[in-house]
Amino acid sequence: MQLNQLFTDDDAVSPVIGVILMVAITVILAAVIATFVLGLGDQVSNTSPQASFSFEWNGAAGEEADLKITHNGGETIQAQNLYVRGSDGTVSGGTDASFGQTWDTYNNPAGATSEIQAGMQATVNNVDSDAEASLVWQDATGESSSTLKEWTGPTA
């Protein structure tokens, strides 16, 4: 056996690398096609927004007061996708109310806005001290939702 011929002979390397590349390309193409066919790409875009909110309630135990909700930072959110949901009839009148309909007039003199940005506030009137409220984001199709922040009254 000649040692020089062993080092210069690379016939077996090219077919092996070719087969590995073909298999890799086939797997990648199958994954991309499966993502589009099964609709998995649509689910990625429907993730809940990353935003920070805070609640402020300045009443005394056993009485009603206004609950202020402040957008502290993060993504801008469409108002029609935010809802304040409560444990009793005192939060949003007992029904799911659009967050955009409750903006303070000093933050938005023209009325309800379509986009909620950092620094904006909303007020829910006549909230009991034993109430519980959740700020919920729901996508436009109604297929997915996420609770962004929860508040519990001091006597709840």
pLDDT digits 0-9 by tens, 35-54: 888 876 555 556 788 999 99
Does 23 share its domain with 75? no
- Rounded CA-CA distance 94/156 in Å is 17
Tell me: do 93 and 110 sit in the same domain: yes
Residue 18 burial by Cβ neighbours in a 10 Å radius (0-12, 13-18, 19+): exposed
In tens, the pLDDT along 86-140 reads 765 444 433 334 444 443 333 443 444 578 888 888 778 778 888 888 888 888 7
- Domain of 129 in residue numbering reads as 51-152
Q: Are residues 125 and 109 in the same domain?
A: yes
Spell out where the chain has E strands: 51-57, 64-74, 77-78, 82-86, 97-98, 115-116, 121-128, 132-138, 145-152
83 and 8 in a single domain? The answer is no
Q: Has residue 154 got a pLDDT over 80?
A: yes
pLDDT at residue number 95:
35
Residue 67 and residue 97 in one domain = yes
Give yes or no: residues 58 and 39 share one domain: no
Pair (75, 143) in one structural domain: yes
Task: Report the C-alpha gap between 144 and 33 in whole angstroms.
Answer: 24
* Residue 4: DSSP 8-state: H
